[in-house]
Amino acid sequence: MARDRRDTYYWRAKDEGYRSRAAYKLFQINEKHEVIKEGDTIVDLGAAPGGWLEVAKKISGGKIVGVDLRRIKEIEGVDTIKGDITSDETIKKIIEMVGEGGADVVICDAAPNLSGNWSLDHARSIDLTTSALECAKKILKPKGHFIVKVFQGDMFKEYMDKVRESFTYTRAFSPKASRQESAEIYVIGKKLLTAPFKIDDKFDVTIKKIGSKGNGIAFVEDFVVFMQDEVKKGENVRIKIVDVKPEFAFAIVIGRYDEELKDKNEE
């Protein structure tokens, strides 16, 4: 006989009128990590039956868009799309619905069909969450936030690293409402980075000015980069990016072309 999976959160959801016990996972994630705030525009990927949509609407009260392969029964004040989050056509529809400004938060509790084979389910989950991350990067505002469910396994660390490349703050969190035996964990990425590069990228730049704290400033595609080494205005240097924030980055100097030129001229 199948085990009875109805627990406290199941009954609480019934009592308090939420469509799924999963609703409490989002409440707990938000309590701990403060991702959703009043007025936020939120996109929920893999949203059916709609517990997270109800929570998102309750916390934010703003524009909420839910997407799922399955039809989502109407929720007042929530727009829905029936579609596959891995398809470009669905992403286009989401962008049209959210509008040019983009979303403040993308949440994703999507789960692949589980086979019971741990490593296959893990691989399918990583595929789906990788699509969710790509989708989030297209629809989020600069500095927007992301929450995604992942089934743990040997590719988890690599996935965390991918999220870390795109957000300023990244954490993994298991809400109490997740079942104890579940392999699921939630990854939270805060403040989407919009820099046209990542840590360790190298560029040849000219120091355009010296900032108020004495750091040299250069630009890579209009993005501000502060030098950690001493430089002079007008100097041509090769830099390596060492830290990326949402609106600026830090770099170290790994080559000084003016000195190389000077050396050559003196030879």
Ligand X SMILES: C[S@@+](CC[C@H](N)C(=O)[O-])C[C@H]1O[C@@H](n2cnc3c(N)ncnc32)[C@H](O)[C@@H]1O
Of 12, 58, 79, 84, which one interacts with ligand X (CB under 6 A)? 84
CB 196 within 8 A of CB 223: yes
Q: If binding is defined by CB under 6 A, does position 52 make contact with ligand X?
A: yes
Q: Which is nearer to ligand X, 49 or 144 (CB)?
A: 49
> What is residue 18's DSSP assignment?
-
Residue 43 φ then ψ, to 5°: -115, 130
Of 24, 27, 35, 49, which one interacts with ligand X (CB under 6 A)? 49
| Tokens linked to 11 | 């009954």
User: Exposed, middle or buried by CB within 10 Å (0-12, 13-18, 19+), for 12?
Assistant: middle
Is 82 tagged catalytic? Answer: no
Q: If binding is defined by CB under 6 A, does position 69 make contact with ligand X?
A: yes
Q: Which is nearer to ligand X, 23 or 163 (CB)?
A: 23
Question: Taking the C-alpha atoms of 109, 23, 182 and 192 in order, what is their torsion angle to the nearest 10 degrees?
Answer: 40
Q: How far apart are CA 248 and CA 197, in angstroms?
A: 11
Of 40, 68, 104, 235, which one interacts with ligand X (CB under 6 A)? 68
Of 27, 36, 50, 91, which one interacts with ligand X (CB under 6 A)? 50
Judged by CB under 6 A, the chain residues 190 through 249 that form the site for ligand X are none
Judged by CB under 6 A, the chain residues 96 through 155 that form the site for ligand X are 109-112, 128
Report which of 21, 22, 13 is spatially closest to residue 44, judged by C-alpha positions. Answer: 22
> CA-CA distances (angstroms) from residue 155 to 104, 135, 170, 220, 224?
28, 20, 16, 33, 34
User: Exposed, middle or buried by CB within 10 Å (0-12, 13-18, 19+), for 261?
Assistant: exposed
Q: If binding is defined by CB under 6 A, does position 51 make contact with ligand X?
A: yes
Catalytic residue among 25, 63, 149, 191: 149
Stretch that binds ligand X, among 66-74, 94-102, 135-143, 183-191 (CB under 6 A): 66-74
Smallest distance from the beta carbon of 108 to ligand X, in angstroms? Answer: 8
Q: If binding is defined by CB under 6 A, does position 48 make contact with ligand X?
A: yes
CB 185 within 8 A of CB 155: no
Q: Which is nearer to ligand X, 70 or 233 (CB)?
A: 70
Smallest distance from the beta carbon of 26 to ligand X, in angstroms? Answer: 7
Stretch that binds ligand X, among 15-23, 33-41, 140-148, 222-230 (CB under 6 A): 15-23
What are the residue numbers of the active site?
149
Report the interface residues with ligand X, using CB under 6 A.
19-20, 22-23, 46-52, 67-70, 84-86, 109-112, 128
